[in-house]
Amino acid sequence: VATPMDFETKDPENEMIKPTIEGVLSIIRSCVKAKTVEKLVFTSSAGTVNVQETQLSVYDESHWSDLDFIYSKKMTAWMYFVSKTLAERAAWEAAKENNIDFISIIPTLVVGPFITPSFPPSLITALSLINGLESHYSIIKQGQYVHLDDLCESHISLYENPKAEGRYICSSHDATIHQLAKMINEKWPEYHVPTQFAGIDEDVPIVSFSSKKLTDTGFKFKYDLEDMFKGAIDGCKEKGFLPYSTNKVKKELITFSIDGNGVEQKKQVKEGGIQIDQIC
């Protein structure tokens, strides 16, 4: 279930949070009414797991984000974390009340090739070292990643597995912002991404999301971190969202809005002296 993503909204409660909750509950009500749905697989988010005041070294399906902490700090994308957490909790409650076979899959940052005509929000974050969107550095400071194709395959695998139940984390690779910068500079040196970041120590520890529950079902990940970023960068180049090279790191101002009904919204990207208008 997609969440409306407008991080510049003036009314996150009514424009993001409530629509997300109502969206999943509406689907569950439709499943109950149809009386033919055998299993519902819900796409949740890592934002439902690890947004807490004290970071752990490893997270699993038993962990939930701290809503009080999120509301108090209101960090970048805070309304997204709230909406996904409340939506998943509401979905679990509704599924139990209606005896629906319900599974939630918790992907970390999804990276890879894409077919959408717009710049996917997850890639705006994943490629923030290239596009210079410093407000997203906190998200990739201690990042976890999964290839889009692996995530899709996990949905099919769990849907077809009669023994699958509960929550499943789907994450194949962990990397700090420094490790990510090193890989990008080695594989795509033309982007000259920064190697030092204000307020982020060079020895910042890895934070992992354990996919043991998923892999214990027999599921195997096929793609590594380089595969993910190659697919994403190649796709962005082809669609004009990234230049083929930069002489220096440039900052972007990106505004985008995708409503819960998939209605197209205007997005404007400004990069240095270049302005690109796209339709989301």
Q: Which alpha helices (DSSP H) does 65-141 contain, by range?
A: 67-73, 78-97, 121-126, 128-131, 137-140
Q: How many helices (H) and strands (E) does the chain have?
A: 11, 11
Tokens at 127, concatenated: 């490629």
Q: Is 84 a catalytic residue?
A: yes
Helix (H, G, I), strand (E, B) or coil at 116: coil
Tell me phi and psi for residue 19, to 5 degrees: -60, -35
Alpha-carbon distances of 271 from 74, 111, 124, 140, 245, rounded to whole Å: 27, 22, 13, 21, 13
SS3 20: helix
3-state secondary structure of 235: helix
Q: How far is CA 280 from CA 3, 22, 118, 132, 272, in A?
A: 14, 23, 5, 20, 21
- Distance of alpha carbon 17 from its chain centroid, rounded? 16
**CA distance linking residue 232 with residue 148, whole number of Å:** 10
Q: Choose the catalytic residue: 10, 18, 84, 163.
A: 84
CA torsion through residues 47, 147, 122, 18, sign: negative
- Catalytic residue ranges: 84
